[in-house]
Amino acid sequence: MTLDTADAVNTVDASAPVAGTPASPPPARRRRNRTQGQWWVPWAFLAPALLLFLVFRYIPMVQAVSMSVENVRPYLGNEFVGLANYQTILSDPAFRDATVNTLVLAFGQTAGCLALGFLLALLLEGQTRKLSFIRSAAFLPVVVPMAVVAELWRIMYYPSADGFLNSIIGTIGLGPSEYINSPDSAMWSIMLMGIWRGAPYDMMIILAGLAGIDRGLYEAATVDGANRWQRIVHVTIPGLRPVFAILFILAAVRGFRVFTEVFLMTNGGPNGATEVVMTLLYKLGLEQGKLGVGSAGAVLLFLATLLLTVIVQLLVRRKKDA
């Protein structure tokens, strides 16, 4: 045996596992385990987004809470006033009117979006290529910026007889409407625009929920003699109950925070008919310089949204337990 052959044999013997000891994993597996053990890797990828959230969302939220109990005086220093800002905002008739308008708009848009989204989902359920194209076309209003949507609808709401919508309803004998220029129809006009934009979003989520319903339930209902409407009432709607709960929370929060469309289309007018909480807080804080009072209103709006979310979650959980 030559020297080289002896070295090779010794190398093989040294690399062989000793009886009774576990074999070491191959290098590729060891590298994979080391990578999985580096817990900081996903946090490193999330760090830029978390930093943006911290700077532009969470820090301003904390500052708003602190400003709500202070008399904000730029360059002069804030002074603590306790709950005086909350008393001021709660005793303001304009805030009460804006709260009522916000509730009407929020629940009107929520109900309209859920109803129209559910109807569209039932009509567009399927896997054909034609339906995929129609669903994509119906979803386009969601991806269009709200500023663009508000401006387009403001143009369509032109109050003269030759306006876009007035010329359409004129063909069936209805007189021209003033839409957003009238206190009687301004809120409903904004609500209609919100439903048009939000219903396709609800439609896509409901379509995903419909795909998760067991097809056997429909077959069993058909065998029992249930018609189309009975299958929807007794199979589809109960199967979509968790989806409706999520959509209700999202739509309600979206309705409570409505600002852009109202600000661009009416700015709270005419005569305060469309004044919502967000536009009122904007005027109090940035136009009138009452930053403390505006911050108190923002905190109250946050607490109302949080309370609504908790109540809906408790109701859904109670129904699941039942």
What does the pLDDT look like over 15-65, one tens digit per residue? 445 445 555 555 555 555 555 558 888 899 999 999 999 999 899 889 999
Q: How does 207-232 read in b/e, with b if 16+ C-beta sit within 10 Å?
A: bebbeeeeeeeeeebeeeebeeeebe
d(CA 275, CA 279): 6
Arithmetic mean of pLDDT over the chain: 83
Q: What is the reported pTM?
A: 0.78
What residues contact 174, with CB distance under 8 A and at least 6 apart? none
Q: Name the strand (E) or helix (H) holding 79.
A: strand 79-80
| Confidence band, pLDDT 50/70/90 cuts, at residue 11 | very low
Residue 141 has pLDDT above 80, yes or no: yes
267 pLDDT above the threshold of 80: yes
Query: Does residue 312 have a pLDDT over 90?
Result: no
Q: What is the pLDDT of residues 184-217, one digit of tens each?
A: 889 999 999 999 999 999 999 999 888 888 888 8
Residue 45 corresponds to which tokens in the numbers above? 């990828």
| C-alpha separations of 126 from 76, 104, 234 in Å | 64, 35, 20
Domain ranges of the chain: 86-321
Q: In percent, how much of the chain has pLDDT > 70?
A: 88
Domain 86-321: which CATH class? Answer: mainly alpha
User: Alpha helix (H) ranges present in 272-290?
Assistant: 277-282
Rg (the chain; Cα; Å): 30
Residue appearing with tokens 């536009």: 279
Quickly tell me which residue has 């009522």 as its tokens: 100
197: closest CA among 269, 268, 254, 155?
254
**Inter-residue contact 209 to 190 (CB < 8 Å):** no
Distances (CA, A) of 40 to 37, 43, 156, 210: 9, 5, 53, 38
